[in-house]
Amino acid sequence: MKESVHVWFLDVVHEALWNALDAAGMKCHDGTGVSREALVEGDIGPVHGLVLRSRIRLDAEVLHAIPDLQWIARSGSGLENIDLATTAKLGIAVHSSPEGNRDAVGEHCVGMLLSTLHKLTSADASIRQHQWLREAHRGRELKSMTVGIVGYGHMGSAFAERLSGFGCRVLAYDKYKDGWGETPSIPRPMKHVQPVGWSAFCRDVDVVSLHLPLTEETKKMVGEDWLGQFDHPILLMNTSRGSILQTSALLSALDQGQVTEACLDVLEFEGHSLEDLENLEDEFLRTTLERLLAHPRVLLSPHVAGWTVESYQKLSTVLADKILAHSSSVP
């Protein structure tokens, strides 16, 4: 008789994943109250699969402590909370689900960009203050601009797809894709999207949208030197990971005119640092965040670009398909 596969859900995800695995005969367990220490000490019984978002970091110590672990399923796209070197060494399969929230991210990018170009946030605020300021809120048309996408994976390509109807020029840069070097040798991935090298990208773009994973290379990558490479001022967007962008460098670039506006769905300092801002002991961090929150040319959202009703379910259905396909291929 085939041994049962025990799956622990360390975070809350859409029920579609639990239902699909349960229907396939796997034993699903609610692990939302399980601590890192319990995993390390082996207190929860057999573990063959783990489902999580970001609550617990699966580092080498945790992974070595779960000898029967076969796979990990991350509800979302980023894998920075999983030690991929150790999973590869131990033969543990890792599944993510960027296909599940790419549409949401693409739409959110368009929404932030249009809101910024047409000054909708300040226009709304001025009317609520009984001011009818038409000239102060004269906008700019997206059609007249060149939008540059850094990182052409699931999220970058989703944004590009949604730009197709606006008539703007779209440039894409991705140094990790074959044929996408300084002189790209591949055909256009979409009719309106042109792969370019970095020098051409910096020369031509008006809008820069970041769609990068958080790695040792990309952490704090966007700083003073990086922002100083563009030939003219840019509108900067980040819906990937907050730690890619140095907030202090962005604020300086805004003050110096290198960046005209910024749209940020993610922050270098998220969560508790914002919720308890007035009590932060780190003065530099506190003043940097205060400057960012007060800046009139920065549009913010709380890491919700991929956080929609539809994506919540799709993230789980994508993972279910991947897990079941993997399980059927394992003897």
Per-residue model confidence as pLDDT tens digits over 10-60? 999 999 999 999 999 999 999 999 999 999 998 899 999 999 999 999 999
What are the C-alpha distances in Å from 52 to residues 33, 62, 105, 234? 12, 14, 20, 36
What are the C-alpha distances in Å from 274 to residues 201, 261, 267? 34, 21, 10
Q: Is there a single domain that holds both residue 250 and residue 121?
A: yes
Q: Does residue 1 surpass a pLDDT of 60?
A: no
All residues at 6 or more sequence positions from 327 whose CB lies less than 8 Å from its CB, including other chains: 5, 24, 71
The structural domain count of the chain equals 2
The DSSP secondary-structure symbol of 190 reads B
On whether residue 166 sits in a domain, the answer given is yes
Q: Is there a single domain that holds both residue 188 and residue 269?
A: yes
**Entry pTM:** 0.92
Q: Please give the Cα distance from 70 to 60 (Å, whole number).
A: 15
What confidence score (pLDDT) does residue 273 get?
66
What confidence score (pLDDT) does residue 284 get?
87
Closest CA to 330 of 161, 67, 91: 91
Per-residue model confidence as pLDDT tens digits over 303-329? 999 999 999 999 999 999 999 999 887
The CATH number for 240's domain is 3.40.50.720
Q: Is there a single domain that holds both residue 87 and residue 182?
A: no
pLDDT band, residue 99 (cuts 50/70/90): very high
DSSP 93-133: EEE--HHHHHHHHHHHHHHHHHHHHTTHHHHHHHHHTT---
Q: Is there a single domain that holds both residue 53 and residue 164?
A: no
Q: Does residue 68 surpass a pLDDT of 90?
A: yes
% of the chain exceeding 70 in pLDDT: 98
The pairing of beta strand 207-210 with beta strand 27-30: unpaired
On whether residue 11 sits in a domain, the answer given is yes
In sequence order, the β-bridge partners of residue 247 are: none
Q: Does residue 331 surpass a pLDDT of 70?
A: no
236, burial (CB in 10 Å: exposed 0-12, middle 13-18, buried 19+): buried
Q: Is there a single domain that holds both residue 186 and residue 320?
A: no
Question: Which region among 125-139, 205-219, 260-274 has the lowest average model confidence (pLDDT)?
Answer: 260-274
Q: Helix 98-117 vs helix 309-329: angle between axes, to the nearest 10 degrees?
A: 150
Q: Is there a single domain that holds both residue 88 and residue 211?
A: no
Torsion of CA 198, 202, 205, 207, to 10 degrees: 90
Q: Does residue 237 surpass a pLDDT of 90?
A: yes
Closest CA to 249 of 220, 278, 209, 274: 220
Per-residue model confidence as pLDDT tens digits over 247-258? 999 999 999 999
Length of the chain: 331
On whether residue 1 sits in a domain, the answer given is no
pLDDT band, residue 2 (cuts 50/70/90): low
What mean pLDDT comes out for the span 233-238?
A: 98
What mean pLDDT comes out for the span 229-245?
A: 97
What confidence score (pLDDT) does residue 251 get?
98
Range of the domain at 85: 6-96+310-329
